[in-house]
Amino acid sequence: MDSKEDEAATPELLSFFYSRFFPYKTYVNWLNYETESNGAFKNRELSFTLPSDAYLRYNSYNGEEDLKAEIMKMCPTKIDIGAIYTAKPKDKKTMRLSAFKPVEKELIFDIDMTDYDEIRTCCSGASICYKCWKFMTVAIKIIDVALREDFGFKHLLWVYSGRRGVHCWVCDENARKLSNERRAAIVSYLAVIKGGTQVSKKVQLNRTLHPFLRRSLEIIEKYFEDIVLKDQDVLGSEENWSKVLNCIQDDEIIKKLSNKWNGSNSKSSVQKWDELVNELEHAASASGRKYSKKAEQLQICKLEIMFQYTYPRLDEAVSKNINHLLKSPFCVHPKTGRVCVPIQPDDCENFDPFEVPTVSSLYQELNLYVEGERKVHDYEKTSLKPYIKYFDNFVKGTSKEAREKNRSQASMEF
């Protein structure tokens, strides 16, 4: 399904992209957060992966001009954004280690489709299709609303990673200033899926769901049948349904259902799911008061499976550490040639990863453009336009917050 996989970003196309499309001005404004004489931007680490695969860390720049000159010269296949430090990262070598400390960075989230390999049946590894991309839609919906409503964050930039995942940059000032401990606490609040590949049951819920889990469940309920039962057909083959049954802590039920399902190929996953749910309910009421703990376990098991098969898988290490680097928006994925464009969270179900502009499609669009009377930017002549406009607007929001903060600080000092 990776139809544009052949549109890899050649060095020529990459250099064309960096000279004509990369939004340097907005980018510097974003990472600077209205600090005087580009203070925050100058101390920001940017890392480059070069076409030779060399990886250069601790680059830093004064502003738009030297950043653009360097990117044009190096033509990196990937740009990563790191923290804001106490001093310019490029001067790190000349400084005492104790004088060089990370002080701020956006709270970041990385959700990658490869972490869904144990629950998706359509694709694996680096490939994605419309069916499994829906997991990303659900992930954005659940995490976005939790970050806004439970933590009060407002400035969330969601970005397509260019191939098989999404990133979220939480840019509010109080998010950027979080300590590692606070970042870890937020991640542990949001992390519901626990345990590696060797753990078959990855979700443990209490009978009374925390409001955050109840809200997540409302989203999961909307998508579970469509994505997990119909698209992924997780109760279709024995290999897949046995994984689902392994989440049930009752050998009797597992035996009963597998006997039932082994004999018939005609039942759909939806029908089998109904049988599973009935079986759980029946066993729960049969175990009655005598084993109330057991009854509770069986009652909640249905929801645990639904969470295990729909709830977002977060790369926790990425979010926990202020030092952690993350691929920058508006990079170009070297294999797919796709631009890492922002995704509007309130419209994420309409985001189509296969329709994202690639460097070669942009090249064609620009060549086909018929110049009119009005002078317009190159990006406005192409399908990159809505993404750049969205980014511009987003940065207007973060800049406004920073200016208001500066003003209120100035008036307090006065």
Nearer to Zn ion, 126 or 184 (CB): 126
Which one, 35 or 127, has the nearer CB to Zn ion? 127
What's 328's DSSP letter? P
- Copy the structure tokens of residue 18: 């960096």
Q: Hey, what are 203's tokens?
A: 């979700």
Give the number of other CB atoms < 10 A from CB of residue 203: 20
d(CA 121, CA 263): 22
- Min dist. Cβ of residue 132 to Zn ion (A): 3
- CA-closest candidate to residue 273, choices 223, 311, 221, 233: 233
Catalytic residue among 112, 144, 304, 315: 112
Q: Which of residues 335-374 bind Zn ion (CB under 5 A)?
A: none
Known catalytic membership, residue 112: yes
- Length, in residues, of the chain: 414
| Closest separation in Å from C-beta 152 to Zn ion | 35
Question: Of the two residues 116 and 363, which places its CB atom closer to Zn ion in the complex?
Answer: 116
**Least distance CB 124 / Zn ion (angstroms):** 8
Q: C-alpha angle with apex 107: 147 to 211, nearest 5 degrees?
A: 20
* 385 touches 333 (CB < 8 A): no
Size of the site for Zn ion (CB under 5 A): 5
Helix (H, G, I), strand (E, B) or coil at 294: helix
The answer to whether residues 139 and 111 touch, using CB atoms and an 8 Å cutoff, is yes
- Per DSSP (E only), the strands in 161-249 are 165-170
- Which is nearer to Zn ion, 136 or 220 (by Cβ)? 136
What does DSSP assign to residue 193?
-
Q: Which is nearer to Zn ion, 130 or 291 (CB)?
A: 130
Which CB atom, from 131 or from 381, has the smaller least distance to Zn ion? 131
Question: Shortest distance, CB of residue 19 to Zn ion, whole angstroms?
Answer: 35
Contacts of 262 (CB under 8 A, 6+ apart): 238
Q: What is the C-alpha to C-alpha distance for residues 343 and 70, in angstroms, rounded to an integer?
A: 28
- Residue 384 found at the interface with Zn ion (CB under 5 A): no
Choose the catalytic residue: 7, 45, 106, 115.
45
161-200: which residues touch Zn ion (CB under 5 A)?
none
150 is known as an active-site residue? no
* β-bridge pairing 107-112 and 165-170: antiparallel
Please give the Cα distance from 104 to 157 (Å, whole number): 17
Closest distance of CB 133 from Zn ion, Å: 7
Least distance from Zn ion to the Cβ atom of residue 76, Å:
30
Interface with Zn ion in residues 106-145 (CB under 5 A)? 122-123, 129, 131-132
Active site residue 110: yes
Of 7, 80, 106, 110, the catalytic one is: 110
Residues that bind Zn ion (CB under 5 A): 122-123, 129, 131-132
Q: Which active-site residues does the annotation give?
A: 45, 110, 112
